[in-house]
Structure 1
Amino acid sequence: MTEGSDVVLQRLMSLHPKVIDLVLDRVHRLLGALDHPERAIPPVVHIAGTNGKGSTLAMIRAGLEGAGDTVHAYTSPHLARFHERIRVAGDLIAEDELSALLTECEQANGDAPVTYFEITTCAAFLAFARTPADWTLLEVGLGGRLDATNVVDPALCVITPVSIDHEGFLGDTLAAIAGEKAGILKRGVPCVVGPQDDAALEVIERQAARLGAPLHVHGQHWHVAEEAGRLIFQDETGLMDLPLPRLIGRHQAHNAGAAIAALRLLDRAAGAEAAMTRAEWPARLQRLRSGPLVDAAGGAELWLDGGHNPAAGAALAEALTRLPPAPLHLICGMLNTKDATGYMAPLAPLADDLHAVSIPGETNTLTAAETVAAATRAGLSASEAGSVAQAIATVTARAPDARILICGSLYLAGHVLRENA
């Protein structure tokens, strides 16, 4: 009897003492033992960046599928179940296939050190190599240069906006972090570049020049804007008049622009409207409309967002201003590796208060008390709550018609989606 994927995944966590260890030696070794599936997957679009990678990938996928193509996709982290990370020809990977692939990778690896992300990335490559499709979309897990996904020869690269995050692994300056993201660039391979600060763009342009990689840069080679309730995209090929993205927020217009630029370069512009209207990406200012937590909220609106750094906080604040006015109450939990005060500061002028929770099951969670302290520094009125459900009850008892936003971490978002299932 085949073991379930959850059992295998739990065992794989013990193969390396560090959760994150950015080198490529181990993944190259394991891929060699597996007869190099990364060389047999369909043409790759490789996506790096600090914010917007997942949303951009979701729009590219919707566009390619709208143009009639089949698409593999690899994303991380997952929210409710690991299976979300691997889409095989459009569908979430089946449990029996995932279990078998993980077991195969475990046996090929033996007792050699390998990180959880590395071995699961190899499993994804096996799945993609064995099922026909037209395209493979790969989201970088962390950084780019030394990420386990950076073992492919892509057809196209995309770099979404770069900002400060994961400083302990990528460097503490924008230029250093941009250098890690630009590590996905390959000689002669075109790259779509989303909006960037000058310091980041300079690094990306320098690396592209070194490799002869043609860049297609926002504000230079393509432009995107909202006009009269439509999205207007323009590049040297011409102008496209499209519906606004289904995903909410001005930053999603920029992500949409990168997705459209990518579709143009892939000769799949016919899918641009589908990219806007069909893309789905959970926990990005997502309205929850059914489930136990929604029932507990009564007449209050319940929203969920997984952004977790200052740039994401600013984008979230801007997106919230686009919603109809309503009293806003935050339920927030964050990891201790994040700039919690920097994340909360843009939200402070919009929110009546914040209810702090720790993230269940996460060793690196901020305690509720630490989150309260960060919120207070950001100018928010804050208090501790024992759980998300308790925080919802507290808010709705005082403000039954409130807008409640659960935010601060993808790990918290995943917990909420499981609890609300």
Structure 2
Amino acid sequence: MDYAQTLNFLYNQLPVFTKQGSAALRTGLHNIEALCAALGHPEKKFKSIHIAGTNGKGSTSHMLAAIFQEAGYKTGLYTSPHLKDFRERIRVNGQMAEQQFVVDFVARIQNELDDLQPSFFEVTVAMAFEYFVQQQVDIAIIEVGLGGRLDSTNVITPELSLITNISYDHMHILGDTLPQIAGEKAGIIKDGVPVVVSETQAEVEKVFRDKAAAHHSPLHFADQEFLVQDSHTEHQHLQLSILHTPTDHGQQIALDLRGQYQGKNVLGVLMAVKLMQQKGWQLPEAAVHKALSHVSHLTGLRGRWEVIQQHPLTVLDVGHNEAGITEIVQQLAYQVYNQLHIVIGFVKDKDIEKVLQLLPKTAHYYFCQAAIERALEADVLARMALHHGLQGHTFPNVQLAYHAAQQAAHKEDMVLVCGSFFIVGEVQ
């Protein structure tokens, strides 16, 4: 098979969560453990940081990868899902894995694919681990796909575990209370491995304290040690004044990820950097600051309050659940525009009613659906939205919706694309 045929095989012969939802999930770690065993246990051959959480884990992963890369370490990065190119999931120093590697890897494990019938995600995780070993990375930043305890990435023993925050998402899989969801995310905590929690939340703090204590893992709540004193956007960067409260040391950070919500993620990143420095990793403050000002350039990150045009102001954001949309709505309060145009679509297994009630009623909506099986039909979404006072037009695909918004918007208006990774990924 060539590269195109290999991708076709991965998408169409293996169960894919992004297409099928929970039907594609494989319960337990048996398959990934068997795949890793067949490959000679690559998961044991590189150092790593493991990152879970409901929102912000992708941004956090990219920030940490940028920092290690800028500090001179050969840095692997595994994230999901991708926006445009499958190989976005597997990077080393910001560069995507080679097409030929993907082809060769799938051919190499063909017997295991036949025997185990693994999911798409299980195969991509094994692929990433093997690539990082082949590339001899100094460290890899590994983002959890879903949950933590039973996620395929959870076969690594990292240098550090980091959990960003907990909110409602994937409740049909992870549980319908915040403590239940936190329990699944806390499943990445390993014996004696330090844990960072970016954001203290009263409803779940005890879950993390109990889990860390059971594993004798030092636990650090980042926002109990670092404080954002000021936050504003200037010169195309989010300007943050951050205080380390135990030492009264202040620092100014210019972050190229401009959403105000990134302030919470940065605290987790700084806590992780401090702990890794204590472990002997050379991460100078100058390298940290330079990396944070160039995260997108260093790592290829997209879709986090990403401004792709100024007139009209056009922003892409992959926020897709209640907490993510809340952050987007709060960010909108900082923007200046005449009329807001929102291109939006969701997948079927989200709590869409809760999200719709958060969205501004004064915006004009362009309801659409991504080209995946899990996409909620645009006309269904429009009817649901109408019950919440949201009005607009429906479109059969993302491109038509986006172009309609661009044509309707005046130069002092704003166009926002959100609701799903897959909606943002289809914007050209």
**Matching residue of 1:34:** 39
Deviation at 1:6, TM superposition (A): 3.6
Confirm or deny that 1:106 pairs with 2:110.
Answer: yes
SS at match of 1:375: helix
Match of residue 136, structure 2, among 132, 136, 139:
132
Amino acid at match of 1:37: P
1:19 paired with 2:39, answer: no
CA deviation string 1:18-65 (max 9, x = no partner) = 421231011111111111111112x11000000000101111111112
| AA in 2 matched with 1:26 | N
Contact kept, 8 Å, 1:312 with 1:343, in 2: the verdict is no
Q: 2:82 aligns with which of 69, 78, 81?
A: 78
Q: Which amino acid aligns with 1:95?
A: Q
Q: Kindly indicate whether residue 195 of structure 2 is the aligned counterpart of residue 191 of structure 1.
A: yes
- SS of the aligned residue for 1:100 comes to helix
Structural mapping, 1:149-164, within 5 Å: 149-164=153-168
2:19 is matched with which residue?
none
1:234 to 244, 260, 280: 244
| Cα distance between partner residues in 1 of 2:25 and 2:170 | 11
Q: Which of these residues, 302, 326, 335, is aligned with residue 314 of structure 1?
A: 326
Q: What letter corresponds to residue 313 of structure 2 in structure 1?
A: E
Change (3 A) 1:53 1:172: same
| Deviation (angstroms), 1:103 | 2.0
Structure 1 residue 15: deviation in Å? Answer: 4.3
| CA–CA distance in structure 2, aligned partners of residues 375 and 279 of structure 1 | 35
Q: 1:393 to 1:222 in 2, by over 3 A?
A: closer
Q: Cα deviations across residues 350-395 of structure 1 (Å, max 9, x unaligned)? A: x4221101212x1111111111123223332232123334334544
Give the secondary structure class of the aligned counterpart of 1:111.
helix
What is the CA deviation profile of residues 66-118 of structure 1, one whole-angstrom value per residue up to 9, with x for unaligned ones? 22222001000011011000012442111112211222233444332211100
The residue aligned with 1:405 is: 416
Deviations 1:192-239 (A, max 9, x none): 101142122221111011111111103323333325753314154552
Give me the whole-angstrom Cα distance separating, in 2, the residues matched to 1:88 and 1:55.
16
In structure 2, runs of 5+ residues without a counterpart are: 17-22, 233-238, 278-282
Residue by residue, what CA displacement relative to the aligned partner does 1:259-288 show, whole Å, maximum 9, x if unpaired? 111111111252320242011221112122
AA aligned opposite 2:159: A
Q: What is the correspondence of 1:167-206 to structure 2 with a 5 Å cutoff? A: 167-206=171-210
Report the TM-score, using the length of structure 2 for normalisation: 0.89
AA in 2 matched with 1:274: K
Q: Give the deviation of 1:327 after TM superposition.
A: 1.5
The amino acid that maps onto 1:32 is A
Match of 1:372 among 376, 382, 398: 382
Is the contact made by 1:34 and 1:108 (CA closer than 8 Å) also made in structure 2? no
1:273 aligns with 2:275: no
Please, which moves more after superposition, 393-402 or 241-250?
Answer: 393-402
1:5 equivalent to 2:15? Answer no
Whole-Å separation in 1 of the counterparts to 2:207 and 2:247: 27
Deviation at 1:398, TM superposition (A): 4.3
TM-score w.r.t. length of structure 1? 0.90
Q: Distance in 2 between matches of 1:133 and 1:370?
A: 46
Deviates more, 1:374-383 or 1:181-190: 374-383
User: 1:324 offset after TM fit, Å?
Assistant: 2.7
1:10 partner letter: N
**Alignment partner of 2:305 out of 274, 285, 289:** 285
Question: Structure 2 CA distance, aligned partners of 1:392 and 1:151?
Answer: 40
- In the alignment, the residues of structure 2 paired with residue 143 and residue 409 of structure 1 have an alpha-carbon distance, to the nearest angstrom, of 18
Q: Any idea what SS the aligned residue of 2:115 has?
A: coil
Partner AA of 1:273 in structure 2: H
**Residues 396 and 273 from structure 1, CA distance in 2 versus in 1: closer, same or farther, beyond 3 angstroms?**
closer
Pairs within 5 Å for 1:250-399: 250-267=260-277, 268-270=283-285, 271-280=287-296, 281-289=301-309, 299-349=311-361, 351-360=362-371, 362-399=372-409
The amino acid across from 2:425 in the alignment is G
Letter in 2 for 1:364: R
Deviates more, 1:131-140 or 1:280-289: 280-289
CA contact (8 A) 1:216 1:222 kept: no
Report the Cα offset of residue 337 of structure 1.
Answer: 0.6
Q: Distance in 2 between matches of 1:181 and 1:208?
A: 12
Percent of aligned pairs with the same amino acid: 32
Structure 1 unmatched runs, 5+ = none
The 2-side partners of 1:76 and 1:159 are apart by: 16
Match of 1:214 in 2: 218
Corresponding residue to 1:223 among 224, 227, 237? 227
User: Is the partner of 2:50 in helix, strand or coil?
Assistant: strand
More moved, 55-64 vs 96-105: 96-105
Q: Which amino acid aligns with 1:306?
A: V
Q: Which amino acid aligns with 2:353?
A: T
Establish whether residue 245 from structure 1 lines up as the match of residue 255 from structure 2.
Answer: yes
Give SS of 2:318's match.
coil
**Number of residue pairs the alignment of both structures matches:** 404
**Following the alignment from structure 1 to structure 2, what is the Cα–Cα distance between the partners of residues 262 and 387?**
41
User: Is the alpha carbon distance of 1:397 and 1:414 closer, same or farther for their aligned partners in structure 2, counting shifts above 3 Å?
Assistant: closer
Cα distance in 2, alignment partners of residues 336 and 116 from structure 1? 20
Q: Give the equivalent residue in structure 1 for 2:57.
A: 53
Q: Secondary structure at the match of 2:109?
A: helix
Is the 8 Å Cα contact of residues 375 and 382 (structure 1) preserved in structure 2? no
Q: Shift in Å at residue 178 of structure 1? A: 0.4
In the alignment, is the contact (CA less than 8 A) between 2:369 and 2:398 conserved in 1?
no
Change (3 A) 1:8 1:390: closer
SS in structure 2 at match of 1:144? coil
